[in-house]
Copies of this chain bind each other. A is one copy, B any other.
Amino acid sequence: MSEIGEREADLGFARLDLGRAARTGDPEVVFGAGKTPEQVVTALRRLAAAHPDRAVLATRLTPPMIALIRADLPAAEVDEVARTVTLGPPPAPVGAVAVVCAGTSDLPVARECATTVRVFGATPDLVVDVGVAGLHRLLAQRDRIAAADAVVAVAGMEAALPSVLGGLIGVPLIAVPTSVGYGWHLDGLTAFVGMLNSCAPGVVCVNVDNGFGAGVAAARIARTVHRSAAAGA
């Protein structure tokens, strides 16, 4: 079992997976939902100690969690809109990810994604409010988006953005549905099924509001591209 056997830290309420970075290239992340503020701080501190040279990340934080982090971990960098905290220096970025969002209401998800991209080792480029009802706004940003190594398209409502983008560029494209709508939208299910049924080939999808998951996937693509390029030199 040596090839998957790993060091772990038993915190009583959790077993931190300290070997994950060796296995997958990135440390474990603290998912705030359902934990106490104290558990979040303990986990962040322990992960940071195990990865002194890498930023560690916590997501889905509530205001009490953020307050305790600010008190106990003053070095942490907080993004209240994205509800994320990072602790430690981000890796030197390799590759770029365009994080494109359809409307202002999608910003919290887009920023969770951008922060994740940075922690997972790539450079995010946030392009906001380019929904398809004003097509010229998107077309004007097309070359900027096409220059990225991976693209994340964040949209609610009918979520047409990734389909239109997918017909304009050939860059790997990850769609994030958001729980934004004007009536019956089942907390984002409508955006989600729209993305799943995109008529543009090759659009892949994460769960509703899961900017974190999209950020991980996009950063891995982007950094692989550039590490390969470097290695190929």
Chain A residues in contact with chain B, CB under 8 A? 1, 3-6, 8, 13-15, 17, 19-20, 23-26, 28-29, 31, 33-35, 39, 60, 102-105, 107, 128-137, 139-140, 142-143, 149, 156-160, 163-164, 166-174, 179-210, 212-214, 216-217, 220-221, 224-226, 228-233
A167–B159 Cα distance when bound, in Å, is: 14
B160 contacts A163, C-beta separation under 8 Å: yes
A138–B131 Cα distance when bound, in Å, is: 17
Residues of B within 8 A of A233 (CB): 232-233
Number of copies of this kind of chain in the complex = 8
A39-B104, A197-B191, A225-B224 are known contacts. Are A26 and B134 too (CB-CB below 8 A)?
A: no
A227–B117 Cα distance when bound, in Å, is: 23
Contacts A23-B168, A183-B188 supplied; 11 other A-B pairs, CB < 8 Å: A1-B3, A13-B129, A19-B136, A26-B201, A132-B167, A157-B198, A190-B194, A197-B207, A202-B213, A202-B217, A204-B205
